[in-house]
């Protein structure tokens, strides 16, 4: 067995759980105790980084880490305990209520006087804040649509066809330069950010890690396929208006043409994707497996819940005149 020299470097640890997982990735050693995991803040930096480290092995891994760690039985056991703590908290904090139709219709209604992150960046955000936002979002957007691809083998018929059609667009429609992850890297280049995969992990707070971890959690478990479909629908339904505001923010702050193009592209593409996801992916899934309706609602609701946690953090920092990046992050090109 040999260490993988590709992928990003391992990050700075954020507590006992992440330190134990990272040490195990480097070589033999004890993994976190179940009692420590049960006592940890499910949305805190330490647990979220520990879980992120486990999940990232299924994507590009880390430099110097043996690829066989991806299916290491002991590590999978620790990951399961971390997942149980995280998922249990999400279920407790987003109790399912109402029908799928009601949950979708709620997302379709834009607030008259929005106060979210995209509204803030459009109306008053600085170029520096736009750069911070992009740096943190890069944890997902540099692997955009990858977590959702896990659900394809778990669907069939109309739901699979609809999901595959949307993913095909996300992956550039067969053109490498139009892959959405590449378009986001181009956006980062306009903003003077490092485009290396995973470069801004140390800079990103637990709230951002939780969003990416939620995607991986729902995508990697077949039993959560309904929740993954709900989450994906929430992303596509809210993307077009949010992307429109972010495109305006890019223009107002002079971010650059590639930065503007990324969000302009999502305004048009995701307006179409929304219809496909609602009618074909959700509709097809529930026609075949109506018992998954509550899971779909959970996926819709949990996406909003975690995005709200991130928004609260970002806006509180920015309105206080502070950076939203973690203090220890070494990002010389963000001012």
pLDDT of residue 268: 74
Q: Are the C-beta atoms of residues 23 and 29 closer than 8 Å to each other?
A: yes
pLDDT of residue 331: 54
pLDDT of residue 307: 96
pLDDT of residue 112: 67
Q: Which two tokens stand for residue 115?
A: 């106060």
Using DSSP, state whether 319 is helix, strand or coil.
helix
pLDDT of residue 334: 47
**Mean pLDDT of successive 10-residue stretches along the chain, which has 335 residues:** 72 97 93 96 98 98 96 98 98 90 86 86 96 97 96 97 94 92 96 96 97 98 98 90 94 95 83 85 97 97 96 97 79 49
**CA 22 to CA 174: how far, in whole Å?**
36
pTM to 2 decimals? 0.94
The maximal CA–CA distance of the chain, rounded, in angstroms, is 57
With DSSP H G I counted as helix, E B as strand and the rest as coil, what are the percentages for the chain, rounded to 5? 70, 0, 30
**CA 181 to CA 142: how far, in whole Å?**
5
Given the structure tokens 């993913």, which residue do they identify? 167
pLDDT of residue 1: 46
* Structural domains of the chain sorted by starting position, each given as residue range(s) with its CATH number in brackets: 16-92 (no CATH), 98-319 (1.20.910.10)
- Helix axis angle, 206-220 to 225-253, nearest 10°: 140
pLDDT of residue 29: 87
């Amino acid at each position: 067995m040999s260490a993988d020299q590709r992928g990003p470097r391992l990050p700075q640890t954020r507590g006992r759980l992440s330190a134990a997982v990272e040490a195990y990735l480097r070589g033999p050693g004890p993994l976190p105790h179940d009692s420590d995991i049960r006592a940890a803040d499910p949305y805190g930096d330490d647990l979220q980084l520990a879980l992120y480290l486990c999940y990232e092995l299924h994507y590009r891994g880390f430099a110097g880490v043996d690829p066989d760690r991806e299916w290491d039985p002991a590590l999978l056991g620790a990951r399961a305990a971390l997942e149980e703590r995280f998922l249990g908290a999400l279920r407790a904090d987003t109790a399912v209520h109402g029908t799928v139709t009601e949950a979708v219709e709620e997302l379709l209604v834009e607030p008259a006087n929005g106060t979210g992150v995209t509204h803030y960046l459009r109306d008053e955000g600085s170029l520096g804040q736009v750069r911070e936002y992009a740096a943190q979002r890069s944890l997902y957007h540099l692997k955009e649509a990858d977590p959702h691809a896990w659900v394809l083998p778990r669907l069939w018929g109309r739901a699979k066809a609809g999901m595959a059609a949307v993913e095909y667009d996300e992956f550039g429609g067969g053109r490498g330069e139009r892959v959405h992850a590449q378009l986001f890297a181009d956006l980062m280049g306009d903003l003077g950010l490092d485009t290396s995969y995973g470069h801004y992990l140390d800079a990103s707070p637990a709230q951002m890690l939780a969003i990416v971890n939620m995607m991986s959690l729902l995508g990697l478990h077949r039993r959560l396929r309904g929740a993954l479909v709900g989450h994906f629908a929430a992303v596509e339904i809210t993307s077009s208006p949010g992307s429109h505001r972010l495109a305006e923010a890019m223009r107002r702050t002079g971010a650059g043409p590639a930065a503007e193009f990324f969000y302009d592209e999502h305004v048009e593409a995701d307006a179409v994707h929304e219809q496909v996801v609602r009618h074909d992916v959700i509709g097809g899934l529930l026609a075949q497996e109506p018992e998954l309706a509550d899971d779909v609602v959970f996926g819709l609701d949990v996406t909003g819940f975690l995005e709200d946690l991130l928004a609260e953090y970002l806006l509180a920092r920015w309105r206080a005149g502070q950076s939203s990046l973690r203090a220890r992050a070494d990002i010389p090109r963000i001012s």
